[in-house]
């Protein structure tokens, strides 16, 4: 079965970008040109372009046209999303490596974040998420075992922690901060970066209707990642 026309257009655009034929800041053909090329309506072409803009692959400039974004992964500051979905929305390959999944005693910061006593057992996972085989996020996550008792029985190479937690304890609130940091030597090795690479650290707490669910530190190489958002005025 052939793919929908809007999907064909998306694949055509991402292929041109990945092959280096359309570099960053390259202006794209118009929606009318895509409609003619793929024998579809302008609305179908617009859907393809809009979805790639929302995924951070393209950027629109009012009155000038649509351009290829800088080739960095982009996440929104306005929403908590599944990183696997973000990567696949861009038409890229997603992969993950699970480094640790175990029970550990909560330190002071983790205990405060999860509303628990210091020293009590919490669940801990450490994952490296990759886009096109290149690491873009080191996820260090602490989970409240009182709310998520089967966390350690999961395979996070088959589903992300975010995906699992959203299904088991639907999130009602999230809070995060962002800061520029230098990765430790071990983190540099896990992210395959050198010692001069600046990083973005997102510290995130999430709640369900029953209480604090998880506390995560998400470390991103600065050259491969950016944060963005759109504000309606």
What pLDDT does 35 receive?
A: 94
Number of C-beta neighbours around residue 131 at 10 A: 22
User: Rounded distance, CA 17 to CA 77, Å?
Assistant: 25
pLDDT digits (tens, 9 = 90+) for 58-111: 888 777 889 887 655 445 444 567 888 888 887 889 999 999 999 999 998 898
User: Rounded distance, CA 61 to CA 149, Å?
Assistant: 48
Helix (H, G, I), strand (E, B) or coil at 200: strand
pLDDT digits (tens, 9 = 90+) for 141-190: 999 999 999 999 999 999 999 999 988 888 777 888 889 999 999 999 99
Between the two ends of the chain, the Cα-to-Cα distance in Å is 42
What pLDDT does 2 receive?
A: 60
Q: Which helix (H) or strand (E) holds 16?
A: helix 5-18
Taking CA atoms, 75 is separated from 21, 88, 189, in Å, by 25, 13, 23
User: Rounded distance, CA 19 to CA 21, Å?
Assistant: 6
Segment among 24-28, 42-46, 162-166 with least mean pLDDT: 24-28
The token pair at 225 is 């990642």
What pLDDT does 183 receive?
A: 95
- Residue ranges matching CATH 3.40.1410.10 in the chain: 73-228
Higher pLDDT pick, 114 / 224: 114
What pLDDT does 227 receive?
A: 63
> Which parts of the chain are beta strand (E)?
58-61, 65-68, 73-76, 94-105, 121-131, 134-143, 171-182, 198-208, 211-221, 225-228
Average pLDDT over residues 39-46: 94
Cβ partners under 8 Å of residue 13, min gap 6:
22, 28, 48, 49, 52, 57, 58
pTM: 0.68
Average pLDDT over residues 7-11: 89
Fold (topology level) of 73-228? Chorismate lyase (3.40.1410)
- Residue ranges matching CATH 1.10.10.10 in the chain: 5-68
DSSP string of 132-197, one letter each residue? TTEEEEEEEEEE-TTT-TTGGG--TTTS-HHHHHHHHS-EEEEEEEEEEEE--HHHHHHHT--TT-
- CA triple 115-116-119, angle to 5 deg: 145
Average pLDDT over residues 110-119: 88
Which CATH number applies to 5-68? 1.10.10.10
């Amino acid at each position: 079965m052939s793919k929908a026309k809007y999907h064909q257009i998306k694949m055509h655009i991402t292929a041109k970008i990945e092959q280096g034929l359309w570099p960053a800041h390259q202006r794209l053909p118009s929606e009318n040109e895509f409609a003619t090329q793929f024998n579809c309506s302008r609305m179908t072409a617009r859907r393809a372009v809009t979805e790639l803009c929302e995924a951070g692959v393209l950027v629109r400039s009012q009155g000038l046209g649509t351009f290829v974004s800088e080739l960095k992964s982009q996440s929104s500051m306005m929403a908590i999303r599944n990183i696997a979905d973000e990567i696949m929305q861009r038409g890229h390959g997603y992969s993950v490596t699970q480094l640790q999944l175990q029970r550990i005693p909560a330190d002071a910061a983790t205990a405060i974040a999860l509303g628990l006593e210091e020293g009590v057992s919490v669940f801990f996972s450490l994952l490296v998420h990759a886009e096109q085989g290149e690491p873009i996020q080191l996820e260090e996550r602490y989970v409240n075992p009182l709310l998520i008792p089967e966390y350690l029985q999961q395979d996070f190479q088959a589903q992300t922690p975010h995906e699992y937690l959203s299904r088991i304890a639907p999130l009602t609130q999230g809070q995060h901060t962002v800061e520029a940091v230098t990765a430790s030597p071990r983190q540099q090795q896990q992210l395959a970066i050198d010692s001069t690479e600046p990083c973005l650290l997102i510290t995130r707490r999430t709640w369900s209707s029953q209480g604090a669910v998880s506390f995560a530190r998400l470390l991103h190489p600065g050259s491969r990642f950016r944060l963005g958002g759109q504000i309606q005025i």
